[in-house]
Amino acid sequence: MVFFVTPTKRRPEQKADLTRLGQTLAHIPNLFWILVEDAEGPSDMIRDLLDRLKMTQTSAHLAVSTPEKMRMNASDPNWKLPRGVEQRNAALEYLRTNHASWHRGAVYFGDDDNTYDWRLFDEIRKINRVGVWPVGIVGGLIVEAPIVASNGTVTGFTAKWKPERPFPIDMAAFAVNLSLIVENRDAGFSFDVPRGYQESHFLTSLKLSRNDLEPRADFCSKVYVWHTRTEKAQLSKKDLQRTLDPAQLSEPERNAIA
């Protein structure tokens, strides 16, 4: 089973992004989608989407708000604070409580606006403890990729940004075995780590080191995931305000975003 964990934030493009992602995931066999909304409670929009995609039985729909102090303003550059920390931790707790007994389970963190080639899921299924692969257009590069020696071990990384990180890779670059999450009950994400260290913090908290990395996607030569980002809608301040209160929206406006 592949557990695909998606933190997701309310914004005008959210429904479009989740529709596109949900349609990508809907026909993948043995996939379980854990959606964690950055919100006080689960939305009808996402419930209806899962229903429409016939994924109600193969998904969990959770919600937990990012604490006030750690929430960004619309005008903040999006790297200012870590994103999805509480949401991914909620998914880990959910997995420990509800799915601990799966014999073969892989956990992957898949953001709502990335692009996933269907072949990625075959690679995720192949991991033993922790698999890694390249990610396209991320970190200001055409690709960030693990460097693999001819004996098949990972000897380095192409990342240019903070290459001194224990694991200089993106959240989309790895998957881990569910058993590691169950065994390491305190493992997770944290607001208390330097910028860019979420992945390293998490993998380290699973007691993994670089030696454990299993290169996938044809020895890390193939790209099956891209860190695409959806442009923010160019709305007026007034319209942006109106998106927060469905009662103020016309029927097609409401349907476009909620």
Ligand X SMILES: O=c1ccn([C@@H]2O[C@H](COP(=O)(O)OP(=O)(O)O)[C@@H](O)[C@H]2O)c(=O)[nH]1
Give me the active site residues, please: 199
Q: Is 235 helix (H, G, I), strand (E, B) or coil?
A: coil
Q: Which of 128, 155, 221, 241 touches a copy of itself by CB under 8 A?
A: 221
Q: Is 178 helix (H, G, I), strand (E, B) or coil?
A: helix
Residues that bind Mn ion (CB under 5 A): 111, 113
Closest by CA to 6, choosing from 56, 61, 53, 57, is: 61
Q: Which is nearer to a copy of itself, 91 or 220 (CB)?
A: 220
Q: How far apart are CA 242 and CA 239, in angstroms?
A: 5
Q: Which of 43, 59, 66, 198 touches ligand X by CB under 6 A?
A: 66
Task: Report whether 123 contacts 133 (CB < 8 A).
Answer: yes
Binding letters toward a copy of itself, positions 143-182, x by CB under 8 A:
x-x------------x------------------------
What is each CA distance from 228 to 44, 91, 141, 142, 235, in whole angstroms?
26, 23, 12, 11, 21
Least distance (Å) between residue 183 CB and a copy of itself:
32
Cβ atoms within 10 Å of 110's Cβ, excluding its own: 23
Q: Which is nearer to a copy of itself, 62 or 145 (CB)?
A: 145
Residue 8 in the binding site for ligand X (CB under 6 A) = yes
The binder of 88, among Mn ion, ligand X, a copy of itself, none, by C-beta within 5 to 8 A per type, is: none
CA contacts within 13 A on the Cβ side of 165: 23
Which DSSP category does 231 fall into? P
Enumerate binding residues for a copy of itself (CB under 8 A).
12-13, 15-17, 19-20, 23-24, 27, 115-118, 134, 136-137, 140-143, 145, 158, 220-223, 226, 228-231, 233-236, 239, 242-243, 249-253, 255-257
Question: Using CB under 6 A as the criterion, which residues of the chain lie in contact with ligand X when the complex forms?
Answer: 6-9, 38, 66, 72, 78, 83-84, 87, 111-113, 229
